[in-house]
Structure 1
Amino acid sequence: MNKIFTFLFLLVSTLAQAQIQIKVIDTETQIPLENVRIRPETGKSQLSNTSGIIAFPGSEKQTFSFSKTGYESFSAILGEGEHLIQLIPKSLNLSEITVSAFESERPLLEQSAAIAVVSEQDFNRFNETSLVNSFNTKAGIRIEERAPASYRISIRGSSLRAPFGVRNVKVYWNEVPFTSPDGTTALNLLDLSNIRTAEIIKGPSGSIYGAGNGGVVNLYSPASPNGGRVSADFMIGDFGMTRYRLGVSQQVGNGGFEASYVSQKSDGYREQSAMDRQVFQLGGFFSVSDKQEIRTQLLISDLDYQIPGGLTADQVAEDPTQARPGSVNQNSSISQQSVFASIGHLYRFSSQIKNSTTLYLNANDFENPFILDYKKELGYGIGGRTKFTFDWKLAGKELRIIAGGEYQMSLNDAQNFGNKAGKADTVRFADQLLATQGFLFQQAEWELTEDLLLTIGLSENFSKLEVDRQIDASGGPTGLQVKKFDPILVPRFALNYQLNDYSGVYGSISSGFSPPTIDEVRTNEGSLNLDLEAEKGLNYELGYRLGKERLNLEATVFYFKLDQTITTYTNPQGVVLFRNAGSTDQKGIETAIDYALIRNGGGFISDLKIGTAFTGNYFTFNDYQKGDNDYSGNDLTGVPPNTLVSRLDLRTAAGIYLNFTHQYVDEIPLNDANTVYQDAYNLVNMRFGWAKSFAGKWELEAFAGVDNLTDELYSLGNDLNPFGGRYYQPAPERNWYGGVKVAFLY
């Protein structure tokens, strides 16, 4: 018996002393890494110490995951004893950046199109209240914000078709169509916390994404959770800005869920420019089996923002903070409540064949009192997208075929009233609006050689708008009016050639078309412009990419020939109307350079990066005559010829960081006659702060920043061809913000 007790005592003592000891180092510098988060398969995560060492009790083998900002995530099965783990720094090499553009997950270096990637690091360089600043650091992309939450997106083009809202750009959120079938996108319903990364395809992409000449924006939510995390953010700033966020994520088996609630409010820089938005998001990811995955999303958004309106040059000089006369009395504003729900399913039939399908349902309640009228809309939409991917060999070469389709439908009850002191008055006209659009797409990617990739894509598109006028108080005709666009084929042909492991060239020819939106056909004064034709264009593009060690370089030249260009004008009553303006020639160049002066250094400065992006848009009207006025040869309205963005990012070993951004925007023509311009301006933004992890469980960040450091007077979104010279929407003067973030990991 004594021998048994002695044996048990020795066994317990041995087990108590058994350890899995881990040391983590940088694979390039061989320097020990502090604050690496190490999570065992069972038990709580811990952080490595200043020597890069951490020990876990026990001897049983299990999987450990390793993560640290600036390094690639890593997993390994470890047992009792000492282990040396080497983490690989995240490389600037473009071959390491994988994107899902054109429904094909390939490294950016192998993509045959101009694609910009906006990461979490890009978002966190600014105040995190909107997408504007981060998107505007990318060549060829410009987001305008005429008032808080009033966005316009311009990708290689102007905002001619978007006096307000996002048009002529297709937006997807987690592979679900977020752009309505009527051609508009309520991008302001999303908070920045609902977006982890964005991929922007520049130029026509109709071969696989349907209608739209302006490009495609693919937005992705935070990734599936790893473990458990509870977080909270709080920020305040000038002009009464407050923002707070609460979030939780929890891993459940091989899946999990994440939820967040965000509230953001601001009094606004100008009179009648306050904003109030609440957003709740709930997402789930479920790995049913090795063959099946299910992803769900629920987004509930409640948005209210005021519209100050455009000012003349004299009004700006007098007081740039004033609203357009009448905006306050008429409560010019937008109120929108929306629910968006989706479900996605991935099924792998085999290692060669898989299908991905997403379905969505949304509902909207929209009110828009304006100086001239009061609009109400209530409606819903449904839609979905499915694709099959086949990986085969043809003549011994890898062949990938992608085929699928997309369909969307929306039905809205829309009413226009008179506006009496901000209240809806007598009904002027009421319509039931039905919009449908859909397309089938096919794409083949054939690796002709180890270095040469051929891509051929084609889509067949159809769309229809129905306006059933039920009330017309002016005595005009009622009844059903239909605008149907003939089915159109949209092809794309592209080649990508890898010069070596770190550089390549590509060329493409792509077609695009963009039918008018329902707001362009049905205007606020009640007329129906059924003669408005779809824009059609052809784009030629040539690009070069280099990603080697610490250097990234991208350069693209393109020529886009657009026919039946849709432009705006304003009637004497101030109503924005639309017309086709012949053709335009759009020649451009886009370059971007990023260089890491110091990357994961062992001294006080751990990272120091610089970068610059240049956009040259030399766009002109080719054939545009309005009455006795011939605008042929004029610069395209709303497009700055030259834009230059420079960035500096610094991070220290102590966790202190600094992000500095300078943006130069050339003068912008504000009317088709090119007689009025916005002056060129320089915009400087800066953010600095401190971020650190503690005890393997806590993450803390404190930050502050300033927008428009040099106090520039400019407009971040002008009104084009307005009546009465109301061109200008003054942007905020110098303004400060600050906040804290805290997270608990369990």
Structure 2
Amino acid sequence: MKDFLSVLFLLFTMQLFSQEIKKDSVTQLDEIILLEDVITKKAVGITPSSTIGPTTFEKFNPIDIASAINQVSGVYILSGALNTNRITIRGVGARTPFGTDKLRLYFNGIPVTNGTGSSTIEAFDFENLRAIEIIKGPKATSFGANLGGAILLDTKPVFEDETKLVNNFTIGSYGMLKDNLAFQHSNNKLDLSFSYNHFETDGYRQNNNFDRDGFLLNSNIKIGSKGSLGILINYIDYTAQIPSSLNQTDFDEDPTRAAANWLAAQGFEANQYTLLGLSYTHQFSQNLKNTTSIFYTYLDHYEPRPFNILDEFTNGFGLRSQFEGQWAKAQYTFGGELYKDEYHWGTFQNLFRDNNGNGSLEGDRLSRNQEFRSQLNLFGTITYPLSAAFSAQMGLSLNNTDYDFRDLFNQGIANTSAERNFDAILLPSFGLQYQFKQGQLYTNISRGFSNPSLEETLTPDGVINPDIAQETGTNFELGGQFALLRKHLSLNFALYRMNINNLLVAQRVGEDQFIGRNAGETRHQGLELDAKYALRLCKQLVLSPYLSYTLSDHSFVDFVDGDDNFSGNPLTGVPKHRISSGVDFRHTNGLQLNLTHQFVDDIPLTDANSLNSDSFNVFNAKLGYQTSLSSHFSLGLNAGINNLFDTNYAQSVLINASSFGGALPRYFYPGNGRNVYGGFKLSYLL
């Protein structure tokens, strides 16, 4: 709490400083200073969303997508490693042991969330993105109505009638090397972009190497005067060693250690991920447009762990079609999304203890399974202006999910094949928005759901759990967006409350065994505040302080686990207070300085609230310079320092960690120590 108060004092002092300067200079400010890139939002109608773009991305190391997204209030990425990110939105997803679920992820309009609701944001190169749009809560009717919401990733656009070659190169601590080479071309018939990226690092910890190669092809071909055909190919191939989590003693004494069993097994994961998408957009008339996409995804995953070796692959197929139009004064959207995947997985003995210190060695097969998963979303939204300033929006989504599990290893009565089909669920949404000269106010009520993950649908014996149910919840929200002080100050806020029923709990019963069950009800309520201010100190220099604050008052309303009653306890895995703040200095000569800060309050690690992680503050700095060398060449230089004061902090945590074989429970994933990086961006306009 002392750290929290010190941060508030720092921010208050910064605000006083900016106000003092304002008294002397505000009368001279007549122009509007751009606070953020102008990015067209994808959220339908008056659905509120938060968007970050290049201005935010450029403040951070190009491998640090987590810090960029953590600038948005209400959204928090717990990053155990470059390949282990857990995204939580308003506390939803915080209880997931590993990875991200309970939200929907889209890449250029194509859904990339798998059949059980898991999303992998690390499958996309940060430097290929132009914008990340986040819809918080289940109000995203056209994007799945998941309890956590939706995240929309969009790639960089190609500028009209331009051909350009761009290379971004970065080196840094821990043997980091990253390069992204991109080619862009546009004419009156074709937009084409292709990028190749390579990234490698030894990592901060033992057994922490990461090596990735990938490419992205994105093109748009105009067909006649009303149609366009889009082609999207994204491919990533990476191998990442896994240091895993640490117990309290190791975390305090030497956070660079890897967990002993993972180090002995030299545990790692190897992934090959492919996304193929084909989309067609047709403008039937001025008032009606349709975009239809078909897509295929493939993931090949191999992961030697101390307890076994997992070998899996997934084939996914899907179609999404959306109509947008206007009828009289009303704007409408309707369509559907169908996703099917085939998940094949098996486990083998890991004989690393018999391999003379050479790490993992595959032994006998332990299991072989196959699961067919199907999910259908139908949606429709209508937005109607009740007056020039007052609008209403109604939305309705329908979801139907089926799982078909096949045990291909056991025979006879030992065979555990089964099906689990969930009843179709209707998810309505209703919103109001009032627009006025300096901003807008909105309110929304919406219903959402979350499907159980694979671990939650199966018992430790590999049997389908027939009693597991989908989580459902209703979200109430009131918010506003304002542009004040001649649009120099941008201020957004949101108050929300969401009750979630049939809370899904993945209870750990073994080193790699979980059982899912519905454990009661949680209440998610909180305040989100985002403020940005731009002040011209002189003709050449602009100062821009900003602040994002999140208050998360989340708790168990009804949660009884055997003889333990956790009702009333704070929700595990969620910090109550979180602040992202900073200040940017921009000079007209191309020089830019970014100072960023993150405060994370302590996090309850057990349902009984018997143990918390420590709160922490982390500060980063980055200096950049951009200039034109000629009419064809431009150059950008940058250098940065992360974790300026070398703070030992947990960048991610594992809740309700258990101990096995007399070892201490491992709750903590350490963040990197102080580290530096630098690079250049060279652009050639053909």
| The two structures share one fold, judged by TM-score above 0.5 | yes
Distance in 2 separating the partners of 1:93 and 1:414: 45
Measure how far apart 1:489 and its partner are.
0.3
Paired residues, number: 641
Tell me what 1:332 maps to: 267
What displacement does 1:267 show? 0.8
In structure 2, do the counterparts of structure 1 residues 547 and 93 end up closer, same or farther at CA, with 3 Å as the change threshold?
farther
Aligned to 1:741: 681
Tell me whether 1:543 sits opposite 2:485 in the alignment: no
Pick the aligned partner of 2:434 from 486, 493, 497.
497
Aligned-partner Cα distance in 1 for 2:309–2:39: 47
Distance 1:91 1:691, change over 3 A: closer
Structure 2 CA distance for partners of 1:141 and 1:314, relative to 1, 3 Å: same
2:78 is equivalent to residue 149 of structure 1:
no
User: 8 Å contact 2:174–2:204 — kept in the other structure?
Assistant: yes
- 1:589 alignment partner in structure 2: 527
1:437 aligns with 2:375: yes
Cα drift, residue 527 of structure 1: 4.8
**Partner amino acid, structure 2, of 1:598:** R
The match for 1:621 among 544, 550, 556 is 556
Name the CA distance, whole Å, in 1 between partners of 2:221 and 2:325. 24
Unaligned 5+ segments in structure 1 are 1-87, 105-110
Q: Which residue of 1 aligns with 2:59?
A: 125
Report the CA distance between 1:229 and its aligned residue.
Answer: 0.6
- The equivalent of 1:680 in structure 2 is 615
- The residue that corresponds to 2:304 in the other structure is 369
Which is further off, 544-553 or 522-531? Answer: 522-531
Offset of residue 277 of structure 1: 1.1
* Aligned-partner SS, 1:196: strand
User: 1:520 and 2:456 equivalent?
Assistant: yes
Distance in 1 between the 2:582 and 2:413 partners?
A: 56
Paired residue type of 1:424: E
The structure 2 residue matched to 1:223, chosen from 157, 174, 183, is: 157
What TM-score results when the alignment is normalised by the length of structure 1?
A: 0.83
Q: Is the 8 A contact 1:441 1:459 kept in 2?
A: yes
The answer to whether the Cα contact below 8 Å between 2:194 and 2:215 also exists between their aligned partners in 1 is yes
- State how 1:40-189 maps to structure 2 within 5 Å: 91-92=34-35, 98-102=40-44, 104=45, 111-113=46-48, 115-189=49-123
Mapped contact 1:206–1:459 kept (Cα < 8 A): no
Deviates more, 1:226-235 or 1:672-681: 226-235
Return closer, same or farther for 1:745/1:708 CA change in 2, 3 Å cut-off. Answer: same
- The one-letter amino acid of 1:489's match is L
Question: 1:484, CA displacement in angstroms?
Answer: 0.7
Q: Do 1:211 and 1:515's aligned partners in 2 also have CA atoms closer than 8 Å?
A: no
Question: Which secondary structure does the structure 1 equivalent of 2:456 belong to?
Answer: helix
Q: Which whole-Å CA distance do the structure 2 matches of 1:211 and 1:93 have between them?
A: 28
Match of 1:351 among 268, 286, 306: 286
- Taking the aligned partners of 1:530 and 1:686, their CA distance within structure 2 comes to 52
The alpha-carbon deviation at position 412 of structure 1 amounts to 2.1
- 2:343 is the counterpart of 1:412: yes
Question: 8 Å contact 1:596–1:610 — kept in the other structure?
Answer: yes
Q: State how far apart, in whole Å, the 2-side matches of 1:533 and 1:420 are.
A: 37
| Residues 359 and 129 of structure 1, relative CA distance in 2, 3 Å threshold | same
**1:278-289 equivalence runs, <5 A:** 278-289=213-224
2:337 alignment partner AA:
E
Task: Give the one of 129, 132, 143 matched to 1:209.
Answer: 143
Q: Quickly say closer, same or farther: Cα 1:524–1:308, change in 2 above 3 A.
A: farther
Structure 2 length normalisation: TM-score? Answer: 0.90
Q: 2:439 corresponds to which letter in structure 1?
A: S
| Structure 1 residue 552: Cα displacement | 0.3
Asked if the contact 2:633–2:685 (Cα under 8 Å) also holds between the matched residues in 1, the reply is: yes
Q: In 2, are the aligned partners of 1:668 and 1:678 still within 8 Å (CA)?
A: yes
Contact 1:506 1:542 in 2 (8 A): yes
Alignment correspondent of 1:73: none
- What amino acid sits opposite 1:545 in the alignment? Q
1:373-426 Cα offsets, whole Å, 9 max, x none, are: 111112311101101122011xxxx10121100000001221111212113221
Residues 391 and 432 in structure 2, CA contact (< 8 A), matched pair in contact too: yes
- Using a 3 Å threshold, how does the CA distance of structure 1 residues 700 and 206 change in structure 2: closer, same or farther? closer
Q: Is the 8 A contact 1:158 1:637 kept in 2?
A: no
CA distance in 1, matches of 2:364, 2:615: 45
Cα deviation for residue 177 of structure 1 reads 0.4
Q: Once the two structures are aligned, what percentage of the paired residues are identical? A: 29
SS at match of 1:722: coil
Whole-Å separation in 2 of the counterparts to 1:708 and 1:626: 39
Report the AA paired with residue 734 of structure 1.
R
Looking at structure 2, the residues matched to 596 and 626 of structure 1 have their Cα atoms a distance apart, in angstroms, of 51
Deviation at 1:211, TM superposition (A): 5.1
Structure 1: distance between partners of 2:262 and 2:39: 47
CA contact (8 A) 2:478 2:494 kept: yes
Alpha-carbon contact 1:702-1:740 (below 8 Å) kept = yes
Instruction: Quickly say closer, same or farther: Cα 1:406–1:334, change in 2 above 3 A.
Output: same
The question of whether the paired residues in 1 share the 8 Å contact of 2:92 and 2:148 is answered with no
Contact 1:225 1:255 in 2 (8 A): no
- The whole-number CA distance in structure 2 between the counterparts of 1:573 and 1:142 is 27
- Structure 1 stretch 512-521 or stretch 295-304: which is displaced more? 512-521
Task: Describe the SS at the equivalent of 2:682.
Answer: strand
Q: Cα gap change, 1:485/1:206 in structure 2, threshold over 3 Å: closer, same or farther?
A: farther
Match of 1:557?
495
Deviation per residue, 1:701-739 (Å, 9 max, x gap)? 111101111111111110111112211111111111111
Mapped to 1, the partners of 2:618 and 2:173 lie a distance apart of 17
Whether the 8 Å CA contact 1:112–1:507 is kept in 2: the answer is no
SS of aligned partner of 2:63: coil
User: How far, CA to CA, are the matches of 1:453 and 1:334 in structure 2?
Assistant: 50
CA distance in 2, matches of 1:318, 1:665: 21
Point out the more displaced range, 193-202 or 157-166: 157-166
Pick aligned residue for 1:190 from 124, 138, 156? 124
Could you say which residue in structure 2 is the equivalent of 1:28?
none
Q: How does 1:367-406 map to 2 (within 5 A)?
A: 367-393=302-328, 398-406=329-337
CA deviations 1:585-612 (Å, max 9, x no partner) are 111000111000128x633x2x221110
Measured at CA, do residues 336 and 97 of structure 1 come closer, stay the same or move farther in structure 2, by a change above 3 Å?
closer
Shift in CA distance, 692/576, structure 1 to aligned 2, threshold 3 Å = farther
User: Residues 354 and 224 of structure 1: is their aligned pair in 2 closer, same or farther, counting only changes over 3 Å?
Assistant: same
Relative distance call for 1:100 and 1:228 in structure 2 (3 A) is same
Structure 2: which amino acid aligns with 1:483? R
SS in 1 for 2:273: strand
Q: 2:140 & 2:327 partners in 1: Cα distance?
A: 25
3-state secondary structure, aligned to 1:733: coil
Question: Cα 1:482–1:626, aligned 2, differ >3 Å: closer, same or farther?
Answer: same
Residues 477-502 of structure 1, C-alpha deviations (whole Å, 9 max, x = no match): 2253111110010000000011x222
TM-superposed CA distance for 1:520, in Å, is: 2.8
Report the Cα offset of residue 644 of structure 1: 1.2
**Using the alignment, how far apart are the partners of 1:124 and 1:519 within structure 2?**
38
Q: 1:533 aligns with which of 469, 473, 482?
A: 469
Structure 2 residue aligned with 1:665:
600
CA contact (8 A) 2:410 2:416 kept: no
Q: Choose 1 or 2 for highest CA Rg.
A: 1
Secondary structure of 1:317's partner? Answer: helix
Query: How far off is 1:237 after superposition?
Result: 0.9
Alignment of 1:597-676 (within 5 A): 597-598=535-536, 602-603=539-540, 605=541, 607-676=542-611
**Residue 426 of structure 1 pairs with residue 364 of structure 2:** yes
* Cα contact 2:139–2:445 (8 A) shared by 1: no
Q: 8 Å contact 1:377–1:412 — kept in the other structure?
A: yes
Q: Is the 8 A contact 2:47 2:139 kept in 1?
A: no
